[in-house]
């Protein structure tokens, strides 16, 4: 072949450029460059009556996504409606877990995509209250030798809230305090009193100690489970099996992904975190990937099928919420179908104690206002470990 002239070369380059523009344009309008994708629901989504329509024996939901413009789409056997590159189909969930499969046959050949979702069949408006960083009250009771657990003002204050609203509390505890107090020093003579109140007051593992920060972010699963077992053994010793509950909040909300299955094997079914963005990175998110962390930042819960654990987003931290901000914090959540069904309430023990450097004098008042708000809006108190996220089995 002869040498291509410069004029012809410019012509071929221009033609190639036009072709590229045409190709990009066809992709934008859903021609062969558009791949099949399911956009809603999200893989791992926990769906309840707010996400669809209750039908006999199931929940009807809408599945939506994108596909090549000319292709037909079938979702779990249901032909989808097409508008441009979009598609949507209504299907009915009838099992706790459902795999949703979208299939198309056309310009790119056969394509299929799957997501898996959870139907919270017995869901109801509910709240749980979890308190982190507990150790001071145990040290106080052990040293003061009270005749009753509730001679300690902290437990008395929680009992008063329970009596007023029916609230259930889970106290996440440390094995040791910084001044040397350890759980083996706590007497077992209150065991019957713990057991008598186990219908509303439970104890769970949080960490070995308050420091160092982020103790399990880079720790091995072996270390985490050893610390959990150590605390669980002590809770059962001095408070009885009825009082022990699997943890739902690990200190700082950060663990290695390899720790999730071992935690599941210890009875963990839910883990709560902030799932908030800090300095361009997601934090207090159990090291979940960015997509799932972003999803949890605006949804109640998400199932991790690999481990069997459901992740839950904490809705309010009372030690960070002044009384006049509690209602305004909860109101928009209750108005959002993706965040309205479960209220995950939360605070930290240290702010109740006058000797603590950041003591909050109205801390109990903040709890009262938050619990009053959810109670008046129809939310019932639950423990996450009973049923699915506190709902009926």
Instruction: Output the pLDDT for position 34.
Output: 72
291 with 375, same domain?
A: yes
360 vs 45: CA distance, rounded Å: 37
pLDDT along the chain (393 residues), means of 10: 43 40 34 79 98 96 95 97 97 98 87 97 96 98 98 98 98 95 98 98 98 98 98 98 98 98 98 95 98 98 98 98 98 98 98 98 98 98 96 73
Q: Domain end: 92, 119, 146, which one?
A: 119
**Biggest alpha carbon distance in the chain?**
105
- Tell me the C-alpha distance between 339 and 323, whole Å: 21
Domain-ending residue, one of 51, 84, 119: 119
Same domain flag for 86 and 205: no
Last residue of a domain, one of 119, 153, 177: 119
Report how far residue 251's alpha carbon sits from residue 203's, in angstroms, rounded to the nearest whole number. 14
Alpha-carbon distance of 264 to 260, in angstroms, equals 6
Q: How far apart are CA 277 and CA 168, in angstroms?
A: 30
**CA 30/CA 112 separation, integer angstroms:** 16
DSSP element (H, E) containing 373: helix 363-376
Number of H helices, E strands in the chain: 9, 21
CATH assignment of the domain containing 85: 2.60.40.10
Q: What is the pTM of this model?
A: 0.89
pLDDT for residue 393: 61
In-domain check, residue 71:
yes
Q: Are residues 145 and 191 in the same domain?
A: yes
Q: With contact defined as beta carbons under 8 Å apart, do 334 and 370 qualify?
A: no
* Alpha carbon distances (Å) from 336 to 252, 291, 342: 27, 20, 11
Whole-number Cα distances in Å, 312 to 7, 77, 127, 251: 65, 32, 12, 15
Q: Which residue has the tokens 């090291």?
A: 287
- 97 and 203 in one domain? no
Asked if residue 300 and residue 367 are part of one domain, the reply reads: yes
Question: How far apart are the C-alpha atoms of 148 and 141, rounded to whole Å?
Answer: 9
Residue 15 has a pLDDT of 40
CA dist list (Å): 265 to 131, 140, 260: 23, 33, 9
pLDDT for 324 equals 98
pLDDT at 105: 86
Beta bridge partners of 348: 132
- Domain contains 242: yes
Domains identified in the chain, total number? 2
Residues 277 and 176 in one domain: yes
In a domain, 393, yes or no: no
Select from 316, 312, 314 the least CA-distant residue to 328. 316
Domain that holds residue 177: 126-381
Token pair, residue 137, equals 């009250």
Triad 147, 148, 152: Cα angle to 5°: 110
C-alpha of 267 from chain center: 16
Q: Are 46 and 118 in contact (CB under 8 A)?
A: yes
Asked if 102 and 158 sit in the same domain, the reply is no
297 lies in some domain: yes
Q: Looking at the structure, do residues 197 and 334 belong to the same domain, yes or no?
A: yes
One domain, residues 102 and 219: no
């Amino acid at each position: 072949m002869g040498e291509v002239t410069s004029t012809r070369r410019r012509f071929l380059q221009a033609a190639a450029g036009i072709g590229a523009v045409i190709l990009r344009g066809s992709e934008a309008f859903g021609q062969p460059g558009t791949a099949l994708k399911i956009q809603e629901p999200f893989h791992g989504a926990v769906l309840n009556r707010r996400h669809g329509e209750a039908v006999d024996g199931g929940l009807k939901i809408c599945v939506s996504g994108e596909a090549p413009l000319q292709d037909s789409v079938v979702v779990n056997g249901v032909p989808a409606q097409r508008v441009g590159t979009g598609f949507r189909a209504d299907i009915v969930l009838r099992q706790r877990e459902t795999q949703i499969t979208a299939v198309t046959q056309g310009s790119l050949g056969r394509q299929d995509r799957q997501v898996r979702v959870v139907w919270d069949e017995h869901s109801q408006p509910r709240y749980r209250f979890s308190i982190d960083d507990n150790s001071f009250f145990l040290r106080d009771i052990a040293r003061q030798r009270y005749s009753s657990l509730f001679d300690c003002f902290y437990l008395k204050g929680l009992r008063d809230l329970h009596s007023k609203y029916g609230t259930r509390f889970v106290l996440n505890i440390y094995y040791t305090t910084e001044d040397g107090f350890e759980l083996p020093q706590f007497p077992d003579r209150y065991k019957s009193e713990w057991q008598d109140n186990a219908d509303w007051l439970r104890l769970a593992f949080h960490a070995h100690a308050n420091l160092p920060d982020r103790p399990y972010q880079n720790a091995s699963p072996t270390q985490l489970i050893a610390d959990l077992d150590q605390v669980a053994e002590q809770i059962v010793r001095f408070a009885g099996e009825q009082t022990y509950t699997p943890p739902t909040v690990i200190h700082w909300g950060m663990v290695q992904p390899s720790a999730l299955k071992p935690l599941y094997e210890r009875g963990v079914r839910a883990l709560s975190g902030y799932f908030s963005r800090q300095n361009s990175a997601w934090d207090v998110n159990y090291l979940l990937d960015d997509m799932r962390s972003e999803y949890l930042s605006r949804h109640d819960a998400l199932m991790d099928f690999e481990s069997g654990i459901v992740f839950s987003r904490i809705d309010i931290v009372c030690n960070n919420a002044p009384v006049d901000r509690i209602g305004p914090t909860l109101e928009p959540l209750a108005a959002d179908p993706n965040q309205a069904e479960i209220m995950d309430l939360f605070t930290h023990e240290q702010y109740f104690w006058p000797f603590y450097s950041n003591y909050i004098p109205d801390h109990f008042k903040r709890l009262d206002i938050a619990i009053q708000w959810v109670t008046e809006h129809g939310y019932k108190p639950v423990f996450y470990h009973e049923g699915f996220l506190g709902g009926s089995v």
